[in-house]
Amino acid sequence: MKLLGFFKYAYLGFFVLFFIEFLLNYKTDFNKSIVFLVLSILSVLLYWFRNKYQKRFKDRGKL
């Protein structure tokens, strides 16, 4: 279960990577940069989703 907690932070790493690629490709190849922007937004949403449900399942046993 601790391994799943690691993947939560991997999504943030992917966000940083994709957002940097978006910034680097913005002026040269706009279509490619939009793909990287969408991927960075998806990685933040996946981090938020994983974090929310990890907290929910952790608090389940405290009832």
User: Which pLDDT belongs to residue 44?
Assistant: 96
Q: Are 14 and 39 in contact (CB under 8 A)?
A: yes
Residue 45 tokens read as: 């949403």
Q: What is the pTM of this model?
A: 0.79
Cα separation, 21 vs 35, in Å, equals 10
pLDDT at 60 over 80: no
Max CA-CA distance within the chain? Answer: 54
Q: What's the DSSP call for residue 62?
A: G
User: Which pLDDT belongs to residue 7?
Assistant: 83
User: Which pLDDT belongs to residue 18?
Assistant: 96
pLDDT digits (tens, 9 = 90+) for 14-50: 999 999 999 999 999 999 999 999 999 999 999 999 8
How many angstroms from the chain centroid is the CA of residue 2? 18
User: Which pLDDT belongs to residue 5?
Assistant: 75
How many angstroms from the chain centroid is the CA of residue 34? 16
